[in-house]
Structure 1
Amino acid sequence: MPSTPTLLLLLLAASARCSAALIRAPLTRHDDATFIDVVREGLVRFEGLLSSLGGGDGDIVIKDYQNSQYFGQMSVGTPGQSFDVIFDTGSANLWVPAKDCTNCGGRIVGRKHKYDRTASSTYVVDDAAFAIEYGSGPVSGNWSVDTANMGGFDIEAQRFAEVKDASGLGIAYKLGKFDGILGLAFDTISIDKTPTPFKNLMDQGKIDRGVFSFYLGKTDGADGELVIGGIDESHFDGALFWMPVSRVGYWQLDLDDVSMSGLSVGADAQAIVDSGTSLLTGPSDAVRTLASIVGAKRNVVGEYLVDCDATHPDLTFRIGRRDFTLTSEEYVIRASEDSCLFAILAMDIPPPGGPLWILGDVFMRKWYTVFDYEHEQLGFALAA
């Protein structure tokens, strides 16, 4: 299940409790009103969920584009060619646009950085066909091999895709301020089982721990941070609560229940924690029930709008017999003085993968999240 980060450069000092071999990626959010406009254009995320059935310091800057895409800077080639890529826990491949990519944005709006294989001394020919099907449409190109770099760490012989046709991503990609996608899910869902950049960082001994962690700004416009190779304890309160991954592939876990006002709508379900999904999603029947409880009305675009001034009950996700509760201030996004978005969208993911709930950035803004690749588990703590 592919996902997407939007990020720019910013350095953070190392935390006293963190390993020296960490990649730090500050995350910055845009205002909520702008994000609502993106939702109404149908750009909440790439529906990638349907697609796949040593040492040293380093900093990556990660910024949030219109609250819907988190991207950060990395490079491919020697000398390095820089790209803003989405750090996506819902997918497992790296791709960037090729020099001759079509449908990759205009000359000004959504202009992309493109990979030029002829300009890299470490490029290795592969040229096998690459294709991936997102919910919005297909993306295609060919495989290549080259040195990649994340936060100052070289990843030797990284297999990645040069995308030649990105038309399947539609206007979301053309207008988005990112070039490609860097998947952070498990290799088991990677196309051709190609090792991900993160897995290669582990295997090549470039990071001390096979974990990465997200801290997202809790308020509109607040900064956040992605740490690769460790955990920053200054970003959360209390102890981490660990849950095993229920199915290795996506960052999937057992969900005991979803409830509101004492009414259960998601007992014995499965959920995916996805940094590339801006909102929350759930099966349409369950979302309709939740929307009726808060008096939300669905418009022609498909989003649910809710009374900004009304008092709404808490929404609770029960995981590992613990309650993870979101207040109405956390699941309602104000678009304007008189317009608010109910931040849960209906998405029916068919079997065998579904039905599934997706816990996106609305959830992750409240709960600091650690993705432990080595031990196949997720850690949660209340974000500081």
Structure 2
Amino acid sequence: MKALLVLLALWATVEAEMVRIPLQRIESMRERLIKKGEWRKIEENRSSKLFTGSQIGYDYTDTEYIGLVNIGTPAQTFRVILDTGSADLWIPDSSCGGIPGCQDYCNHMPPVDCPSFCNATACCPYSLLYKGPAVRAQQDPCDSKNRFQSSKSSTYVKDGTSFSIQYGTGSAIGFLGKDLICLGNSSVCNTQQFGQATKIADFFANQPLDGIFGMGWPTLSVTKTTPLLFNLMPKLDQPIFTVYLDERGPSAQGAPASLFTYGAFDSVNCNSQISYVPLSAQTYWQFPIQGVSAGTFTRQKTYQVISDTGTSLIGAPQDVSDGIAQALGATYDPWMGAYKLPCGSTPADILLTINGNTFKINYKQYFIMLGNECVVGIFPMSSGGFGPSWILGDPWIRAYCNVYDMKNARIGFAQAKHSQ
């Protein structure tokens, strides 16, 4: 797939603004675990109550696209998952993990050697020059992250209220603070409450991101905080944001790709015709579909689904995912935890019926290469009888730009433009 260069653009008016934030594609944790044959273990450990109460029901390590937020004065920059499947913003606090500003190896170097390679006063608390605590047995997940140093921000206000957010693969625990937060390097900013994590799950350790930027509805917030985008609505040209995900293929690792546009419709990367559907719940970006088909498989049934930028595949009830995979000629590989097809295949379109209209997802959007294997980008899931039964993740958004209308409680779909 030919790459499409995405440039940062900013339009500003006297009283309202629109901003576009370029994203980077990263290999998702799901991709890495499937390659190793370890994803099935994660699936088996998922809670059957993922959609109950205030628990966030998504595996955020599936994300493939991250963006930037700036927090504090002067700004401290953090790489975050831009996630429509949650509603809280958190980043690691300076108290999480090892010593901020010191290389990770300083935390594990033998005490006698540390002063030769690191700053003995600041970074060698375990050296012979400093009688500190014992060396930690292993690296903390926060050690590789950018961490917020509140003492360096002149606009920071401490709240101190504790929070704990549980995800399908781990948690983030810490306290709340308040500071100036900006979308990327734009002037679209707001003083906002956010989470400062003092402990994060091991599952986040090896991912090139710092925290999570939730873009769901206020009622979804675990911390009972109005999400940043909803607070920013009066400052935007329009109370919407548009998500476009480019097609880059397996070779894309950290290259600029795709775009979140705040305050306007992305007419550059998306066709002008938008098909809107009212939301069926103002928690996730949830709406109904009336049926699905692929090849010889057809199922005419109303399902509750969500649009989720934080999931790299499409989740569907197992009878549906099995039926689609069989119709496409794919077979389930229990070692990988995925439906496999020979690379080079051109399987049929997956068709969704939404609000009386048919939407096609081409194999270019859902057929994914993982190492030397190729899989259909759909996985079986169970809502446990609670909440939505489908997750329309990145393959869906690669096919159709999703337009999230915060004021009118609706979501729109426009054909995405790709170079081929």
Normalised TM-score (structure 1): 0.82
The DSSP-based 3-state class of the residue aligned with 2:66 is: strand
Q: Note the 1:341-356 alignment, pairs <5 A.
A: 341-354=375-388, 356=389
Q: 1:104 to 1:217 in 2, by over 3 A?
A: farther
Query: What is the rounded CA distance, in whole Å, between the counterparts of 1:319 and 1:95 in structure 2?
Result: 34
- Give the equivalent residue in structure 1 for 2:117: none
| RMSD, matched Cα | 3.2
Q: 1:248 to 1:104 in 2, by over 3 A?
A: farther
Q: Percent identity of the aligned residues?
A: 30
Shift of 1:264: 2.6
Q: Note the 1:107-118 alignment, pairs <5 A.
A: 107=104, 111-118=144-151
Shift of 1:76: 1.4
Shift of 1:206: 2.2
Q: 1:191 aligns with which of 213, 216, 222?
A: 222
- Give the equivalent residue in structure 2 for 1:314: 349
Query: What is the rounded CA distance, in whole Å, between the counterparts of 2:244 and 2:39 in structure 1?
Result: 23
Letter in 1 for 2:276: W
Query: What is the rounded CA distance, in whole Å, between the counterparts of 1:43 and 1:74 in structure 2?
Result: 30
Are residue 27 (structure 1) and residue 56 (structure 2) matched? no
Normalised TM-score (structure 2): 0.76
Q: 1:245 aligns with which of 262, 279, 283?
A: 279
Query: What is the rounded CA distance, in whole Å, between the counterparts of 2:386 and 2:370 in structure 1?
Result: 36
Q: 1:352 to 1:226 in 2, by over 3 A?
A: same
Contact 1:93 1:190 in 2 (8 A): yes
Higher relative contact order, chain-length normalized (CA < 8 Å, sep 6+): 2
Contact 1:103 1:166 in 2 (8 A): no
The DSSP-based 3-state class of the residue aligned with 1:176 is: coil
- Give the equivalent residue in structure 2 for 1:56: none
Count of residue correspondences: 354
- Give the equivalent residue in structure 1 for 2:86: 91
Shift of 1:50: 4.2
Q: 1:374 to 1:161 in 2, by over 3 A?
A: same
The DSSP-based 3-state class of the residue aligned with 1:233 is: coil
Range with greater deviation from structure 2 (121-130 or 294-303): 294-303
The DSSP-based 3-state class of the residue aligned with 1:127 is: strand
Q: 1:31 to 1:78 in 2, by over 3 A?
A: closer
Contact 1:143 1:160 in 2 (8 A): yes
Point out where structure 1 has 5 or more consecutive residues left out of the alignment: 1-9, 54-64
The DSSP-based 3-state class of the residue aligned with 1:374 is: coil
Contact 2:163 2:223 in 1 (8 A): no
Shift of 1:267: 1.4
Shift of 1:15: 7.9
Superposition misfits of 4+ residues, deviation over 4 angstroms:
41-51, 103-106
Shift of 1:103: 9.0
The DSSP-based 3-state class of the residue aligned with 2:93 is: strand
Contact 1:28 1:217 in 2 (8 A): no
- Give the equivalent residue in structure 1 for 2:236: 207
Richer in strand (by share): 1
Query: What is the rounded CA distance, in whole Å, between the counterparts of 1:87 and 1:134 in structure 2?
Result: 15
Q: Note the 1:104-183 alignment, pairs <5 A.
A: 107=104, 111-151=144-184, 152-153=186-187, 155-167=189-201, 170-171=202-203, 173-183=204-214
Q: 1:307 to 1:266 in 2, by over 3 A?
A: farther
- Give the equivalent residue in structure 2 for 1:275: 309
The DSSP-based 3-state class of the residue aligned with 1:122 is: coil
Shift of 1:341: 1.0
Point out where structure 2 has 5 or more consecutive residues left out of the alignment: 1-5, 106-140
The DSSP-based 3-state class of the residue aligned with 1:290 is: helix
Letter in 2 for 1:297: Y
Which has more radius of gyration?
2
Are residue 328 (structure 1) and residue 363 (structure 2) matched? yes
The CA deviation string for residues 313-338 of structure 1, in whole angstroms up to 9 with x for no partner, is 3211111111111233332112355x
Shift of 1:148: 1.3
The DSSP-based 3-state class of the residue aligned with 2:164 is: strand
Q: 1:333 to 1:66 in 2, by over 3 A?
A: farther
The CA deviation string for residues 8-40 of structure 1, in whole angstroms up to 9 with x for no partner, is xx8523589xx97112112343589x9843543
Query: What is the rounded CA distance, in whole Å, between the counterparts of 2:26 and 2:200 in structure 1?
Result: 25
Query: What is the rounded CA distance, in whole Å, between the counterparts of 2:311 and 2:196 in structure 1?
Result: 24
Contact 1:257 1:265 in 2 (8 A): yes
